Chains A and B, each alone.
Chain A
Amino acid sequence: MQVFAKLLDSLAFTPSRNAKIRLIGDYLKAVPDPARGYALAALTGALSFTGAKPAVIRALVAERVDPELFAMSYDYVGDLAETAALIWPERPRNAPPPTIDAVVHELTEASRGETPKLLEAWLDVLDADGRWALLKLATGGLRVGVSARLAKVAVAEAFGQAAADIEEVWHGIDPPYTVLFDWLEGRAAMPDPGAGAGFRPLMLANPLEEDAIAKLDSQAYRAEWKWDGVRVQAVSRNGEQRLYTRTGDDISGSFPDVVAGFDFDGVIDGELLVRGEGSVGDDGLTPVAPFSALQQRLGRKKPPAKLQQSAPGMIRAYDILFDGDEDVRKAPFDQRRLRLETWGKTAPEVFDISPLVPFADWDELAAIRAGARADGVEGLMLKRRDAAYSAGRPQGPWFKWKRAPLTLDLVVMYAQRGHGRRSSYFSDYTFGAWTDDDALVPVGKAYSGFTDKELALLDKWVRANTTDRFGPVRQVAPGLVFEVAFDAAQRSKRHKSGVALRFPRIKRIRWDKPIEEADRLSTVLALADS
């Protein structure tokens, strides 16, 4: 437990992705089975214990600590598990600190009533970092900035395997993943993911540069709409149903309405969307709600029934990986497409099939793309007719050809220090538009799109124009305009301005532009409504 605590502690304070990968990798190589397996399970969110609730921790602390002192401490620290870990008055016991495998075993076996006694005994023999790690592990939600995907990448890099292979075997194996480590360390063959309802790594597209299209053979490609939803993988194998994000995170729990409709056998690649008003069109497509409707559901671990009704999920399928038992990923696109269309005829109602967009040559397709500003379309996808479905982001077979972005001129309002390489620069910016009473209201935030030289100039400007500080955030006097590119504007109740920009990025710094000439909120709202 102490070694795991040290790892969690380091991860919590390390912002760099590469350093996190190294920390996890070093741990997995140094620690024996089964401890490392349970640690990996904790990092990937594969563990949960029903008896360890925040109320249990409060009650344990209340037995030992003056309530007033606890209240003052909690108020200062702001995190229950951490306050409890730090304030815990140890009563020396004649026992060594528990191992992580003992903790996992005993918490799994324990009844609700037995859990507090277990925790209490462990809290007495661990140090403050160990207690923190124990309480985070027991209550779930480590919050150390490590996604399941990052943990798997760390496994891959530590043992010199492809991340796609780790993903491939992942869902067929259970903590403490001994078969995985046996394979990684050369004692056994790669576990067979075949029949399981596991995640299969996705094939990803590269962006298509505007002038690059001329070099491509238009006859070799098929075109599809690029939908403005969330890429998912729908899996239904041997009676087990799962919905995964593009990185392999299991989001079945967040979309029970969708998964309930998985009455099929296979693996489907598609776009998660929210059903809109109206009936199915001539093209066989279900009307779709704007992205903001889907956003309400993302991140909701247990969506209330009301929300499932007002924003029902659906999947627009565009590829098939398994047709029943048959792995069709090696087949060329055209063959998979035929399979998909055949499958679509009897597919469950929660699916529809993303149609191909017919075109004669690139000019015609460019015209189609330019005309496409309909809701829910981000642009086009180009897929080679003869390409197999290969994991990762291979160069050439798949391209995303987004429609040209919209742009606005917006005034810089706040700046925040960046991370990693940019940590000493004010590199994250919030920008706003003018309201009718000539006040600025924030409409978006972005950080990308600068050269190092521009960044240095901006940083200097921020330092010279700061009017207030809120922790890492500086408020600046209005005086600088950015040309901001974005994919769409959408009405949003969560933002003060009433509007949110999709994928905002800074296109140009308009040192020359007077702030009075920046865009008005009414213009932004009009874009959201168009």
Chain B
Amino acid sequence: MARIDQKFGWLELRPAGLYCAPADIYIDPGRGVPSAIITHGHADHARPGHGKVLATKETLAIMGVRYPADTPETQSLRYGERITVNDVVIWLAPAGHVLGSAQVVLEYRGERIVISGDYNRRPNPTATPFEVVACDLFITEATFALPVFRHPPAEKEVQKLLTSVAQFPEQAHVLGVYGLGKCQRMLALVREGGYEKPIYLHGALVGLTELYESFGFDFGDVRPVAGTDKEEVATALIFAPPSAIPAKWSRRFQNPRTAVASGWMRVRARARQRGAELPLVISDHADWDELLATCKATGAEEVWITHGREDALAHALIAGGQRARPLRLAGREEDAA
């Protein structure tokens, strides 16, 4: 085990996740702990069962929707608002990933560590833009850390969907999106792209979309699929979780064209596995170039890498003159994108 007086020794990897010993607090732990900082509301970062949770108020609200039975003691922080716990200064910086997503900044004994959580460097109408925080140690995600992942502009990808809607007007279009973040970002992008008709939501997407609306987002005419008659949705644009597309649920639509919005859609074999006829390469994560650029921009002397293809990113960072090493967190697999 690392000793606390070693460089960065005050942040260690424990079975439950990253742990800051002097503040006695975990960051995105994989299971219930007495005290946790949560970067954002996705289930692989925000688990239920903690004693105390420190996060943005949006993230706390998302956890409230996801885990209604979970009632930890909570403390919300605005971006940039600092608190001190046993000499550790803790603050959050925006990560641009989903509503309320944050990087965790920890300062102790003259060292600054930034834990990125998941982050996105592109404009996202539904999240506060990422801010680079200069630091000594940067702990980055690596979901799309292969040089084949370069996300095209999201607006261009959305046009693919809208073109198909125009070319196949007699068919329904079902768009596969994750319930937190991607769904609402796509709603905003489709509206920006000029689509004005009602958009129908699978039941699993309704709660979080309403939560976004309660934070002031306006997605136009959005209706649940449940309760509409077949006629009404037969040729509509429908959003659903990717898992619902091959399931019985989608049988109610007339010969639907299936779209999936995800960074994984960049690779054709992956897109076919998901059954996507219209793969839209739209990601809420940094792509390869952005990962490299971000790691560099922080000025960190050392980078630890989690969540994804650690080896490729470590290889490229080392080649670029930074110290880098994979940090193997248990139980992390590619899933949300």
* Chain A contacts to B: CB under 8 angstroms: 12-16, 19, 22, 26, 65-66, 68-70, 72-73, 76-79, 82-83, 86-87, 89, 127-128, 417, 420-421, 423-424, 471-472
Contacts and interface: CB of A to CB of B under 8 A. Distances in A.
A69 B267 contact: no
Contact of A72 (B150, B167, B273, B312): B312
B309 interface: yes
Contacts of B198: none
Interface stretch (B117-125, B185-193, B200-208, B242-250): B242-250
Contacts of A22: 167-168
Given A13-B279, A417-B246, A69 B147 contact: yes
B251 interface: yes
- The listed residue with most B CB atoms (<10 A of its CB), out of A13, A19, A420, A471, is A13
A77 B269 contact: yes
- The listed residue with most B CB atoms (<10 A of its CB), out of A22, A66, A69, A82, is A69
- Top 6 A-B pairs ranked by shortest CB distance? A86-B148, A73-B148, A87-B147, A13-B277, A72-B312, A73-B146
Contacts of B255: 16, 420-421
A69 B316 contact: yes
B146 to A, nearest CB: 5
A417 B152 CA distance: 31
Contacts of B149: 86
Contacts of A83: 148
A26 B246 contact: no
Interface residues of B, number: 33
A76 B146 contact: yes
Interface in B278-319: 278-279, 309, 311-312, 315-316, 319
Nearest to B309: A72
Interface of B: 146-150, 152, 167-168, 246-248, 250-251, 255, 257, 266-269, 271-273, 275-279, 309, 311-312, 315-316, 319
A79 B268 contact: yes
Contacts of A12: 268
A194 B319 CA distance: 65
A14 B160 CA distance: 13
Contacts of A77: 148, 267, 269
Contacts of B257: 19
Contact of B246 (A65, A72, A78, A423): A423
A66 B251 contact: no
B276 A13 contact: yes
Nearest to B275: A423
A374 to B, nearest CB: 44
A123 to B, nearest CB: 14
B273 A424 contact: no
B250 A76 contact: no
Contacts of A16: 255
B269 A87 contact: no
B312 A13 contact: no
Contacts of A73: 146-148, 312
B275 to A, nearest CB: 7
A82 B312 CA distance: 18
Contacts of A417: 246
A448 B246 CA distance: 20
- The listed residue with most A CB atoms (<10 A of its CB), out of B147, B152, B279, B311, is B147
A13 B272 contact: yes
B270 to A, nearest CB: 9
Contacts of B168: 19, 22
